[in-house]
Structure 1
Amino acid sequence: MFAVFLSKAFGLTNPKTYIFSILLFFGTSISSFGATDSLFQKARKLEGQAFVNFVIDNYYEIYSLNFDSAILMTEEAKLLAEANGWTKEAAYASLYHGVATYLRGDYKKSLPNYLNALRLFDSLENHRGIAKTNIELAGFYHKNKQFEKALETAEQAKETAILSGDTATLGTYYGFKMNFLMRQNKYDEAYPFMLKALAIRRTMNDSIGLGYAYLDLSEYELRKGNLNGSLAYIDTSTYIRKKIGDDQGVAVNQVVIGEAYFGVGQFNKAIPYFKKSIELASPIGYTDLIRFGYDMLQKSYVELGDFEKAYKHLQQAQVFNDSIFNVEKSKALLSLQTQYETEKKEKEIELLSIENELKAADLENANNRFYASLGGLILLGFITYLGFNRYKQKQRALLAEEKALNQKLGFKSLIEGEEKERKRIAQELHDGLGQLLSTARLNVSAMEDKVEKLVTKQWENSIKLIDEAVTEVRHISHNMMPNALISIGFEAAIKEQVHIINDAQKVKVHVELPSEKINLPESESIALYRVIQEVLNNAIKYAEAQNIWLTITNNEMLNIIIKDDGKGFDTKLISKSDGIGWQNIYSRVEILNGMVQINSTPGQGSEVSLKLAV
């Protein structure tokens, strides 16, 4: 380690001191990273444990901007924590140093740091720390194609995450599980895990996690052959990552776009994104991503038949391959895990041997038996205490889940109450005001023979106004609660809505419904009808479309696709909109445990896709 070398060469014994010496030594290169430099400025003002906590609390921002800086700071935090006996802080610093070296491509250092963190967290019985470390280890094993070990470690991360109420790590596990299944082409099994991960990120307002969740959705769409849908999700992820200043995430997203184009044979389109990824990864020292970018460039040029450029980029990739992980290093590093587990078993055997010796001594001495019994009672009390603590943690986790469910049910009740009120008002308009207007028309019509020629025009206008009022009341009543939806079902209500739109002759709606009846509870059918009604109204009001296609299929899932040939729009503007239309659509679909996907490009129409489990 370069920092340790400096301490020995120049007699620097304080870890906090020699990190700043290193920063001064590399002052020119570090100053190029403005945000990183500001983090160092803050760190310089801190001492002791405050400095260590600062590094732990801000590690993501640090490594997102520059991996070399992250490696330096996490190593110094780890050394300082170990020197002062701060075990918990040493464990987290070791974990994050492992993450930084892993992302930098220095796998020889990352695994020992992961195992050290796991050892420390085990000694503290810190289940949250164990969960976080195991999910990182799962990624490490997966990288080394140790798939069975990766899955086993991920399941351990899940169990301890649930035990400690670590929702964020649980969301990461769902994402890992989803990707694991998709790589086995088990898309239907992967889909529920994807929805769970996305729901957790949204509930926690986790911008970092959402950036990864949308990449998962992108891969799902790409593997199902939907390139445009995949690219739209990557754009959403990139937008989030730019907002939070996640430079390494933005660099990763560029190479993901390139891979999407490469996967469908559009090599010329893929090349600029691989180059952009290398350009963004170089300042932050993301060696593994740079190597991968060069590797994909040489593959792209091979596909295009430009072997001169392919060879050039192969040479550049090879420069990084020598310093990055290979198969032989993988076997050597993975042996560390075996060594760690062996040491753990040896300690257990040693403890068992000591216990046997104590039991033998107890048989010879009554006093020893007494103290052993007393020790057993104390141990039993301690185990009971641990069991009670675990029970409380499980109860807290259950309470959190119940709270989230109650919030969702509360919102659902609010929507259902609103629909009931709509239904009541619609009924009163139809039965009350509608009947009064109809009676008024009969009375006025009865006066036809008695109307003098002088007031004939006024009489005719009165009849016309009453007819228009009756029609308007019917329209309002239908919009608030269509009779067909209540009386003869969801499909009939959709057909009636389409008929009303087509009668206006401003736009033509083409509808295709499944042959079998869609069986939904009344509350769910109303919510889904409102979503479709809102999307159709958006297309009519803003898209300037000539045609709208509404297709509903009902196989394993209920799929609704609404397309138009209108002017289209930039989907990134949805998150910035002040209106409540899209917000209502997302809220109602979330209540139905469904998913919304919006694809649109200015000048090329729009497509809204809804997927719901039935």
Structure 2
Amino acid sequence: MKHCYCWAFAFLLSVYALSAQEIQKIDSINAILVQNSSLKTDSLLVIFENNLKAAQKIDYKKGIGEAYKNLATIYGYEANGEKRVAYNLKAIRIFEENDLKPQAANLYGEMGYGMKRDNMEKAQYYMNKGLKMAEEGNYKEVLDRTYNNYGVLKEMQGQLDSALYFYKKGLAIVEERKYTEGLPYSYSNLAGAYGQMGNFDLARDYFYKAKVIREEINDRKGIAENFTQIGEVYLIEGKPAEAVPFFEKSLLIARKEDYRFLMQYTYQQLSETFKQMQQTDSALYYFEKYAVFKDSINSLETTKQIAALEVEFETEQKENEILRQRTQLAEKDLEVRRKNAYIFGSLGLSIILGLLGYLIYSRQKQKNRQLQKEKELQVALAKIETQNRLEEQRLRISRDLHDNIGSQLTFIIISLDNLNYMLKDTGQEVKERIAAISAFTSVTINELRDTVWAMNKEVITVKDLQMRISNFIDQAQSSRRDVDFQFKYKEKHLQKLEFSAVGGINVYRIIQEAVNNALKYAEAQTICVKMEISDSKYKIVILDDGRGFDINGGKSGHGISNMQKRANDIDADFKISTSVNKGTTISIQSKA
């Protein structure tokens, strides 16, 4: 019998040793830096998929989560947004369910960074969540990267001083940890910020410092990024010809590394570079490359699937939070009952009936409160879910209008400019028609931007409308310096008045129509827009000293009927006063 025990103990030791070796192997593969690897993305996918299976076989949770995270990073380089989000969410679940806080903090930051171009609001939400977890646990191996990535979000929003602050915090931790692989990211981030601030020489110095380190550690993807970034500095500096070789070097490496997102971005930068150099053929060539690449990796269906995955993840988190709250309520309820039972036992038989009645009443009241809270919570969650869906739908539509239709109209303008150049020996009438089509397309783009501006807002404040009108008046003044434009504004109790998105854009369109009519047909020397706000009412008046017209002559045109219809749509009073050689006055105001 003793001999059998020895064999069993030896067998357990051998199993433990094998498991430890497997875990060490899984961790070493997961520690491979995807960015610095010389392997192609297809090879990396096979390696990490096999590593995931190995971790799942022995139920090694940390290894499973890290493998999911690495797979998400690779799909990000391939510009496969749907799989990037799906694998990141799987990794987050593994980390949170197994109390792997440093890994969860790091991945929340990475998720926020990955969403920076799609949804800045969600990007900041996830980034802040990861940063808070990392700071609470003082996870320096997470903080250095998260500070750097948070600086990128600030830079994209034009907050350059804040970006520099976070970049320097990240660099300090990288240097403290002597983390060589992290230095290029800090240097590149600082360089980008200095470039936008106009310090071009310092920006290039930092980019070259980053490139030297990346060459030492054979970070091919990072070297490609640095070439693109150096080219961007020359482009911002107004030296497009010097930017071209760097963009071309970046494309050469990005193709070899199958870095699709960088290829798409660099095509766009080359198109802009040749446009600045007035080489329209090359600009159009690279713009078509960019457009084809973008369409192939940014389909509307993929965007829908990513949004669905994010909603599923957020819903699951909300449900888990509700379950936690219910558990806490149940524990508190149990604690109250135990205390009450102790009190009842000590008081004696004389007051048992009274206390029993009180206990029943307390329990019922508490139950009612709990049910009421649960009902209120369900209603609140339903409202939030509905608002989120409406907001996502509105943002999706506005983004589709801006990205797809806007890009197509821009493509038309570039094509017309190119056509005009190719037909330089053609008659004046053809050139004028091409110029008219190009001008009409530019006007359409401006009107599309106005519509997207309105769609992106739940409400339009008076301040928003005031700034929009002021910008329009400034543009009109710059285009017609022979006309005196005026914008007069009075306000009282500004905070009480807000327009819906439809109401705000209709008011703005009426003002646009009135001013454009005065410019086109009235031959006015002075055009004045007056805006008066009082409590929850408004009045807007557009006056000109032009030649006017006979309003009863039956030739008022579609412009006035369009303005009348827009006023009716927002339940506003519309009036027009004009006569021949006496100017025109148009007013709209809220009904009493």
TM-score calculated relative to the size of structure 1: 0.48
In structure 2, how many angstroms separate the alpha carbons of the residues matched to 1:64 and 1:247? 7
Letter in 1 for 2:103: G
In structure 2, how many angstroms separate the alpha carbons of the residues matched to 1:226 and 1:362? 65
In structure 2, how many angstroms separate the alpha carbons of the residues matched to 1:90 and 1:195? 33
Q: Confirm or deny: 8 A CA contact 2:36 2:219 kept in the other structure.
A: no
In structure 1, how many angstroms separate the alpha carbons of the residues matched to 2:330 and 2:170? 51
2:223 is equivalent to residue 250 of structure 1: yes
1:148-187 superposed matches below 5 A: 148-187=121-160
- Decide whether aligned partners of structure 1 residues 122 and 189 sit closer, same or farther in structure 2, where only a CA change above 3 A counts: same
State the match for 1:92 in structure 2: 66
1:196 CA displacement: 1.5
Cα distance per residue 1:477-507 (max 9 Å; x no partner): xxxxxxxxxxxxxxxxxxxxxxxxxxxxxxx
- Decide whether aligned partners of structure 1 residues 185 and 50 sit closer, same or farther in structure 2, where only a CA change above 3 A counts: closer
Letter in 2 for 1:129: Q
In structure 1, how many angstroms separate the alpha carbons of the residues matched to 2:73 and 2:31? 14
In structure 1, how many angstroms separate the alpha carbons of the residues matched to 2:233 and 2:332? 66
In structure 2, how many angstroms separate the alpha carbons of the residues matched to 1:163 and 1:90? 25
In structure 2, how many angstroms separate the alpha carbons of the residues matched to 1:222 and 1:327? 34
State the match for 1:263 in structure 2: 236
In structure 2, how many angstroms separate the alpha carbons of the residues matched to 1:245 and 1:259? 23
State the match for 1:317 in structure 2: 290
In structure 2, how many angstroms separate the alpha carbons of the residues matched to 1:257 and 1:203? 27
Q: Confirm or deny: 8 A CA contact 1:65 1:248 kept in the other structure.
A: no
Q: Confirm or deny: 8 A CA contact 2:147 2:170 kept in the other structure.
A: yes
Q: Confirm or deny: 8 A CA contact 1:101 1:109 kept in the other structure.
A: yes
Number of residue pairs aligned between Structure 1 and Structure 2: 324
In structure 1, how many angstroms separate the alpha carbons of the residues matched to 2:200 and 2:36? 33
In structure 2, how many angstroms separate the alpha carbons of the residues matched to 1:328 and 1:348? 30
Cα distance per residue 1:151-176 (max 9 Å; x no partner): 22212212221233321321122222
- SS at structure 2 position matched to 1:60: coil
2:86 is equivalent to residue 105 of structure 1: no
Q: Which among 199, 202, 207 is matched to residue 229 of structure 1?
A: 202
Letter in 1 for 2:278: G
Q: Which among 114, 117, 138 is matched to residue 88 of structure 2?
A: 114
1:91 CA displacement: 0.5
State the match for 1:338 in structure 2: 311
1:193 CA displacement: 2.3
In structure 2, how many angstroms separate the alpha carbons of the residues matched to 1:60 and 1:338? 28
In structure 1, how many angstroms separate the alpha carbons of the residues matched to 2:325 and 2:148? 40
In structure 1, how many angstroms separate the alpha carbons of the residues matched to 2:161 and 2:335? 60
Any stretches of 5+ residues in structure 2 without a counterpart? 1-19, 343-592
1:62 CA displacement: 6.2
2:85 is equivalent to residue 128 of structure 1: no
State the match for 2:45 in structure 1: 71
- Decide whether aligned partners of structure 1 residues 304 and 208 sit closer, same or farther in structure 2, where only a CA change above 3 A counts: same
Q: Confirm or deny: 8 A CA contact 1:105 1:287 kept in the other structure.
A: yes
Q: Confirm or deny: 8 A CA contact 2:41 2:74 kept in the other structure.
A: yes
Q: Which among 176, 193, 197 is matched to residue 220 of structure 1?
A: 193
1:186-197 superposed matches below 5 A: 186-197=159-170
Letter in 2 for 1:203: E
Q: Confirm or deny: 8 A CA contact 1:62 1:69 kept in the other structure.
A: no
- Decide whether aligned partners of structure 1 residues 327 and 174 sit closer, same or farther in structure 2, where only a CA change above 3 A counts: farther
Percent of aligned positions that are identical = 24
2:248 is equivalent to residue 275 of structure 1: yes
1:484-523 superposed matches below 5 A: none
- Decide whether aligned partners of structure 1 residues 364 and 61 sit closer, same or farther in structure 2, where only a CA change above 3 A counts: closer
2:28 is equivalent to residue 54 of structure 1: yes
Cα distance per residue 1:323-376 (max 9 Å; x no partner): 32356633531332221121233344456667878998999999x99xxxxxxx
- SS at structure 1 position matched to 2:71: helix
Structure 1 range deviating more: 72-81 or 128-137: 72-81
In structure 1, how many angstroms separate the alpha carbons of the residues matched to 2:261 and 2:185? 18
In structure 2, how many angstroms separate the alpha carbons of the residues matched to 1:264 and 1:97? 38
1:82 CA displacement: 2.3
1:275 CA displacement: 0.9
1:237 CA displacement: 0.6
1:555-594 superposed matches below 5 A: none
Q: Confirm or deny: 8 A CA contact 1:99 1:136 kept in the other structure.
A: no
Cα distance per residue 1:429-474 (max 9 Å; x no partner): xxxxxxxxxxxxxxxxxxxxxxxxxxxxxxxxxxxxxxxxxxxxxx
- Decide whether aligned partners of structure 1 residues 353 and 186 sit closer, same or farther in structure 2, where only a CA change above 3 A counts: closer
1:214 CA displacement: 0.9
Q: Confirm or deny: 8 A CA contact 1:127 1:163 kept in the other structure.
A: no
Q: Confirm or deny: 8 A CA contact 2:167 2:190 kept in the other structure.
A: yes
In structure 1, how many angstroms separate the alpha carbons of the residues matched to 2:180 and 2:331? 55
In structure 1, how many angstroms separate the alpha carbons of the residues matched to 2:330 and 2:102? 36
Any stretches of 5+ residues in structure 1 without a counterpart? 1-45, 370-614
> C-alpha root-mean-square deviation of aligned residues, in Å?
3.1
State the match for 1:488 in structure 2: none
Q: Confirm or deny: 8 A CA contact 1:171 1:197 kept in the other structure.
A: yes
1:204 CA displacement: 1.4
Letter in 1 for 2:66: Y
Letter in 1 for 2:107: T
Q: Confirm or deny: 8 A CA contact 1:247 1:280 kept in the other structure.
A: yes
In structure 1, how many angstroms separate the alpha carbons of the residues matched to 2:36 and 2:175? 24
- Decide whether aligned partners of structure 1 residues 107 and 301 sit closer, same or farther in structure 2, where only a CA change above 3 A counts: same
1:48 CA displacement: 4.7
Q: Confirm or deny: 8 A CA contact 2:37 2:220 kept in the other structure.
A: no
Q: Confirm or deny: 8 A CA contact 1:59 1:70 kept in the other structure.
A: no
State the match for 2:538 in structure 1: none
- Decide whether aligned partners of structure 1 residues 352 and 283 sit closer, same or farther in structure 2, where only a CA change above 3 A counts: same
1:518-537 superposed matches below 5 A: none
- SS at structure 2 position matched to 1:105: coil
In structure 2, how many angstroms separate the alpha carbons of the residues matched to 1:65 and 1:253? 19
State the match for 1:140 in structure 2: 114
- Decide whether aligned partners of structure 1 residues 139 and 352 sit closer, same or farther in structure 2, where only a CA change above 3 A counts: closer
